[in-house]
Structure 1
Amino acid sequence: MIKFLLMVNKQGQTRLSKYYEAVDLGKRAALEADVVRGCLARRKEECSFVEYKDYKLVYRQYAALFIVVGVTENENELSIYELVHNFVEVLDKYFSRVIMFNLDKVHIILDEMILNGHIVETNKNRILAPLLALDKMTES
């Protein structure tokens, strides 16, 4: 099960966080700081799967952006690794460049892909269908 997803820049600033289990706001800051510090400190040659407390962390770097997913120990790391890549492909397909000003749409994309910590959709066209419908409505 997916517990959280973070999008972080190279400076370690969290740009987007999505939690699929309740975590106190105070604990979130500490969790994010530890997770980010641990993943950003790793070299490119090292594995993208890290054990951290009760989680397994799966992360990928895309240019200056890191995407980190915290999962339970029984989750398949490779499927999460591919989910992250699929997520980035969907973002790339929908946004031409700047996504940081459209975080509400990024959350919609995540909500289409992941529900209650479980992957529910991977088809790019089905993921983007609600956003494209919203775009059509706003153009009218």
Structure 2
Amino acid sequence: MIHFVLLISRQGKVRLTKWYTPYPQKQRSKIIKEISTLVLTRGPKLCNFVDWQGYRVVYKRYASLYFCMCIDPADNELETLQIIHHYVEILDRYFGNVCELDLIFNFHKAYFILDEILIAGELQESNKKSVLRLVTTQDALVEAAKEEQAR
């Protein structure tokens, strides 16, 4: 099970968080600080798995963002790397070569895509086309609602 997802910039700024295990706000801030420090200080040639407080953090750097997922130690790290890559590929297709600014200004879309891929910390949809179809359908509904409201 995935306990939480963090997207962190190289400067340590959090761009997206999704919690599947409930934590109090104070503990969330502490976790974000610890994970940021842990991941950002690791060398580029080290593996993308880190043991942390009885869990395993799997991360991957894409451009200026670190995509981090916290999983149980018994879970498959390579599968989690595949989930991260799957998420990035869908973001790439939706935004057309996604960058950090896309996630800053369209964070609601990034959350929506993540929610289509993962439910309760488990992989829900592995088909990229299906996820993109759902997101574009939602975009069309939003545009229709805006046009209806403008009338």
Q: Please confirm whether the aligned pair reaches a TM-score higher than 0.5, indicating the same fold.
A: yes
2:134 corresponds in structure 1 to 130
Percent identical residues:
33
Give 1:24-103 correspondences, 5 Å limit. Answer: 24-96=24-96, 97=98, 98-103=102-107
In 2: Cα distance, 1:137 partner to 1:110 partner: 19
Q: CA RMSD for the aligned pairs?
A: 1.1
**Other structure's SS at 1:99 match:** helix
1:129 Cα deviation after fit? 2.0
Contact 2:15–2:103 under 8 Å retained in 1:
no
Greater Rg by CA = 2
1:99 Cα deviation after fit? 2.5
1:109 corresponds in structure 2 to 113
Runs of 4+ aligned residues of structure 1 deviating over 4 Å after TM superposition are none
2:18 corresponds in structure 1 to 18
Q: Which amino acid aligns with 1:8?
A: I
Deviations 1:34-53 (A, max 9, x none): 01100110011100000000
Count of aligned pairs: 140
Q: Which amino acid aligns with 1:107?
A: Y
Q: Which amino acid aligns with 1:79?
A: E
1:121 corresponds in structure 2 to 125
1:63 Cα deviation after fit? 1.0
Contact 2:8–2:67 under 8 Å retained in 1:
yes
1:24 Cα deviation after fit? 0.5
In 2: Cα distance, 1:99 partner to 1:27 partner: 24
**Other structure's SS at 2:113 match:** helix
In 2: Cα distance, 1:54 partner to 1:89 partner: 30
In 2: Cα distance, 1:49 partner to 1:12 partner: 18
**Residue ranges of structure 2 left out of the alignment (5+ in a row):** 145-151
1:54 Cα deviation after fit? 2.1
**Residue ranges of structure 1 left out of the alignment (5+ in a row):** none
Contact 2:3–2:19 under 8 Å retained in 1:
yes
Higher share in helix = 2
TM-score normalized by structure 2? 0.89
Contact 2:118–2:125 under 8 Å retained in 1:
yes
